[in-house]
Amino acid sequence: MGRENPGGYSTSWRPPEYTVGDDGKVVGGYAPREPNNWGRWGPEDQLGTQNLIGPEQRVAAAGLVRSGKVFSLALPIAPDAPSLSSRPRPLLTPLMTGSDAVVGSPYNEAAPGFQWSDDMLQMPTQGSTQWDALGHVMFEDSMYNGFWGGNTTTLGGARALGIDRQRESFVGRGVLVDAARHQGLDCCPDEQGIGVELLDAALAAQGVDLRSGDMLLVRTGYLAKWWTRPEGMTPEDYFARTPGISKDTIPWLHEHGVSALACDNIGVELLVPEDPEDRVLPLHVACLVDLGLTLGELWDLDALAADCAADGAYEFLLCAPPLHLPGGLGSPLNPIALK
Ligand code: UVW
Q: Are 75 and 128 in contact (CB under 8 A)?
A: yes
Mean pLDDT of the chain: 96
Q: Is residue 162 pLDDT above 80, yes or no?
A: yes
Whole-angstrom Cα distance, residue 62 to residue 240? Answer: 38
Nearest-atom number in ligand 1 for the CA of 295 is: 8
Atom 8 of ligand 1, residue of closest alpha carbon: 267
Residue-wise DSSP of 31-69: PPPSS--TTTT-TT--SGGGGG--HHHHHHHHTT--S--
Q: What are the CA-CA distances from residue 246 to residues 89, 146, 196 (Å)?
A: 29, 25, 8
> How many angstroms is it from 71 CA to the middle of ligand 1?
25
Task: Report, as an integer, the average pLDDT of 279-300.
Answer: 97
Q: What band does 314 get if pLDDT is binned at 50, 70 and 90? A: very high
Q: What is the pLDDT of residues 220-260, one digit of tens each?
A: 999 999 999 999 999 999 999 999 999 999 999 999 999 99
Quick one: 85 exposed, middle or buried, by C-beta within 10 A (0-12, 13-18, 19+)? exposed
Q: Are 260 and 296 in contact (CB under 8 A)?
A: yes
Nearest-atom number in ligand 1 for the CA of 267 is: 6
Nearest-atom number in ligand 1 for the CA of 266 is: 6
Cα 142 from chain centroid?
A: 19
pLDDT of residue 228: 93
Q: Are 1 and 7 in contact (CB under 8 A)?
A: yes
Task: Report, as an integer, the average pLDDT of 123-152.
Answer: 97
Q: Which residues contact 181 (CB under 8 A, 6 or more apart)?
A: 219, 221, 305, 309
pLDDT of residue 205: 98
pTM of the model: 0.97
Q: What are the CA-CA distances from residue 230 to residues 102, 151, 186, 211 (Å)?
A: 43, 42, 17, 40
Whole-angstrom Cα distance, residue 275 to residue 272? Answer: 9
Q: Is residue 1 pLDDT above 80, yes or no?
A: no
pLDDT over 70 percentage in the chain: 99
Report the b/e string of 48-79 with b at 16+ CB within 10 A: bbbbbbeeebbeebeebeeeeeebebbbebee
Q: What band does 3 get if pLDDT is binned at 50, 70 and 90? A: low
> How many angstroms is it from 267 CA to the middle of ligand 1?
6
What length does the chain have? 339
The count of C-alpha atoms lying within 13 angstroms of the C-alpha of 26, restricted to the half-sphere facing its C-beta, is 23
Residue-wise DSSP of 288-329: IIII--EEEES---HHHHHHHHHH---EEEEE------TT-S
Q: What band does 10 get if pLDDT is binned at 50, 70 and 90? A: confident
Q: Is the CB of 267 under 6 A from ligand 1?
A: yes
**Kind of pairing between the strands at 260-263 and 294-297:** parallel
> How many angstroms is it from 287 CA to the middle of ligand 1?
12
> How many angstroms is it from 83 CA to the middle of ligand 1?
10
pLDDT of residue 107: 87
Q: Is the CB of 266 under 6 A from ligand 1?
A: yes
> How many angstroms is it from 284 CA to the middle of ligand 1?
8
pLDDT of residue 238: 95
pLDDT of residue 2: 61
φ, ψ for residue 64, nearest 5 deg: -80, -10
